[in-house]
Amino acid sequence: MNPNEIRQFLAEWSPKQSRTIVIIDYANVDHWKDNLNWTIGVRELASLIKNFSSVKELRRFYYGSDFGPHTTSTALEPWSKTILEGAQYNNLTVVTKRVKYINDSGGHIKKANLDVEMAIDLIRLRRQYDHIILFSGDGDMAYALDYVTKTFQKTACVFGARDSIGSEMSDALQSGVIDKLMFVEDFESRLNMHRHRP
């Protein structure tokens, strides 16, 4: 999409803002930087999302709370605190759980998968929305989208990075489960956290 197409798309979405849920799988979004060579800022993401949903409860930010490898720690890791507080400050509804540190031969593997929470919220909140915007290229979410679009007659659009989209999402687009698949690369001028900062 070019800038004019993006402006037109956002303008056409405006009447749907009160009936749109936005699901942000931020762990997935954060990994896009490896392929993008730029980082999506929480503030910039929140600013774009306000074009899609005018209801704070339906602007949902899913991300693990990292307290470090010690299970008794009550202090968030500084970078984790910055992300979660940034999401709250920018009027996103944060859904989180404690990151698990799993012992591995090379140290620790961190895990805080929130796919179940996202899928349940799509069902639990179904009476509050008609449209879904999903920020995640994770193919596992295609199953949840298939269920809610067919069972509850919802529409779905997915944002992903071109090299980070599961084949299940492409299949969901071909089968009509997803109405539109958008690429964050086209939205760099709105999402790159360093583009307009000194």
Domain encompassing residue 43 = 3-191
- Closest-CA residue to 139 (of 177, 191, 186, 106): 177
Residue 57 pLDDT: 97
- Give the domain CATH number at 47: 3.40.50.1010
Residue 145 pLDDT: 97
Residue 196 pLDDT: 58
- Per the domain annotation, does 196 fall within a domain? no
57 touches 152 (CB < 8 A):
no
- Per the domain annotation, does 198 fall within a domain? no
138 touches 28 (CB < 8 A):
yes
* Residue 193: its H or E element: none
Identify the segments of the chain with pLDDT beneath 70.
196-198
Mean pLDDT of the chain: 92
Residue 46 pLDDT: 96
- Per the domain annotation, does 197 fall within a domain? no
- Per the domain annotation, does 140 fall within a domain? yes
Q: How many domains does the chain have?
A: 1
